[in-house]
Amino acid sequence: MSEFNHLTYDHEQGGSQTISSRLNLGVSRTAKNVGSKTDVGYVREHNEDSLLVRPPLFAVCDGMGGHKAGEVASDIAVRVLAARAPRETDAKGLKLAVEEANVSIIHAVHEGEGREGMGTTCTAAILEDERLTIAQVGDSRAYLLHAGALQQITRDHSLVADLVDSGEITPQEAYNHPWRSYITRALGLDPRVEPDMYELNIHSGDRLMLCSDGLYSMVRDDKIADILSRTPDPQKAADRLVKAALDAGGADNITVIVVDATVISERKMKKVTRKAKLTAGIIITALVAILLAAAIGFNVLVSNSAYLGEVDGRVAIYQGIPGDIAGMSFSRLDEVSDVNLDDIQPGTARRIRSEDIRCDSIQDARNLVNGYRQDTGNQHPAADADNTDSEADNTAARSDAPDVDTEEGGDV
């Protein structure tokens, strides 16, 4: 296995522009939603594939030319892309960067770097939010796994792809066709080469996979789909895809990048969750405020209410309101007077028994009871000085219209 051309972007470096294609670190720290792997395979002496993992930019380049020249070509391609490609889904910018990579490889040959005839495929993608832009030259591929189904996004620039398209061979025959390794477009050979551009909207949960032909020539699409959909971790998915190609013979260099389009979705989900939490918080606060206001209001009502009732045949004064609400009582016994219900007017006594006489305060209730006492001729001392003072007035009022008084009380 070679990681010579394994170019990764390390987030810990805070966006450093330093590029090294000799990052042979073994474990590369990249975003959690990205997995990548490249392997020389069992047959080739060198790994001429290069890959670029620099979110939101990803690329797989499969070099050719022999005597390590393929490595040089694919390495130049990823370096130029890393330096020149836009950091957003700008198709025009990505296309220009790929064209610049092409010119750089041609220029390198003129400068004596690599070999005449060296070239490389280039499948470069920018995945940002729900937008995916791809530039395509050669036969490395981009696939999209959507809702468990694998779609090949890119169209190969190869002889067998042309033969399949023209109906001369079946897709199955393409796998073993003697011309299968001939590509019809590459970077480094023609200064006027143009990449095919693909722009599409993807959904949260979709998975982008870029690979060199070392994967898809060894592993059928249904098997690739199976591994991608059964392996949630993108790095494990990349590892398993490479392993599947090796298990199938590893006849070529194998390079895989798996990117889950979950970053933005997660961010959105977090936003939604935050919003929901905030809303719940506001609702709870409002409910607590309403309950508190109700409790305070109720407390005020209870402490400003009194009514008359019966205890052992005598008139009793209660603080609060009669009856109960949801099984709870909101009254307490204040005092039991010495006035017998049997001694007062039957209509008033009936209303007292049914707790129908209410007052604004304990004091009002006491005044009423004092009035009854005087009506009955009881000469017991009044409960307080106020009542004694107004005894004469009360007597006059009670003697002729006790029911008027009680009705007044009842309206409160």
Binding stretches for Mn ion (CB under 5 A) = 62, 212-214, 252
Taking the C-alpha atoms of residue 237 and residue 256, their distance in angstroms, rounded to an integer, is 9
In three-state form (DSSP H/G/I as H, E/B as E, the rest C), the secondary structure along the chain is CCCCCEEECCHHHCCCCCCCCCCCCCCCCCCCCEEEEEECCCCCCCCCEEEEEECCEEEEEEEECCCCHHHHHHHHHHHHHHHHCCCCCCHHHHHHHHHHHHHHHHHHHHCCCCCCCCEECEEEEEEECCEEEEEEECCCEEEEEECCEEEECCCCCEHHHHHHHCCCCCHHHHCCCCCCCCECCCECCCCCCCCEEEEEECCCCCEEEEECHHHHCCCCHHHHHHHHHHCCCHHHHHHHHHHHHHHCCCCCCEEEEEEECCHHHHHHHHHHHHHHHHHHHHHHHHHHHHHHHHHHHHHHHHHCCEEEEEECCEEEEEEEEEEEECCEEEEEEEEEEEEEHHHCCHHHHHHHHCCCCEECCHHHHHHHHHHHHHHHCCCCCCCCHHHHHCHHHHHHHHHHCHHHHHHHHHHC
**Shorter beta-carbon distance to Mn ion: residue 62 or 99:** 62
CA nearest to 214, candidates 123, 139, 128: 139
Closer CB to Mn ion, 5 or 212, in the complex: 212
Cβ at position 62, least distance to Mn ion in Å: 4
Residue 209 Cβ vs Mn ion, minimum distance, rounded to whole Å: 16
Smallest separation (angstroms) from Mn ion to the CB of 93: 27
In the block, residue with structure tokens 């929901």: 276
Q: How far is the CB of 156 from Mn ion (least distance, A)?
A: 12
| Cβ proximity to Mn ion, 75 vs 405, nearer residue | 75
Structure tokens at 170: 């079946």
Looking at the Cβ atoms of 212 and 305, the one nearer to Mn ion is 212
CB 190 → Mn ion: shortest distance, Å? 20
* 9 vs 216, beta carbon nearer Mn ion: 216
Residue with Cβ nearer Mn ion (216 or 372): 216
Closer residue to Mn ion (CB): 213 or 239: 213
Residue 16 or 176: the one with the smaller Cβ distance to Mn ion is 176
Q: What is the dihedral sign for C-alpha 401, 402, 405, 407?
A: negative
Output 186 or 349, the one with its CB closest to Mn ion: 186
Smallest separation, CB 251 to Mn ion (Å): 9
Instruction: Report, in Å, the least distance between residue 219 CB and Mn ion.
Output: 13
Tell me the closest approach of the beta carbon of residue 49 to Mn ion, in angstroms: 7
The residue type found at 135 is A
Residue 206 Cα to chain centre, angstroms: 15
In angstroms, what is the minimal distance from the CB of 63 to Mn ion? 8
- Smallest separation (angstroms) from Mn ion to the CB of 280: 54
Find out whether 397 and 359 touch, Cβ atoms under 8 Å. no
In the complex with Mn ion, the residue whose CB is nearer, 252 or 375, is: 252
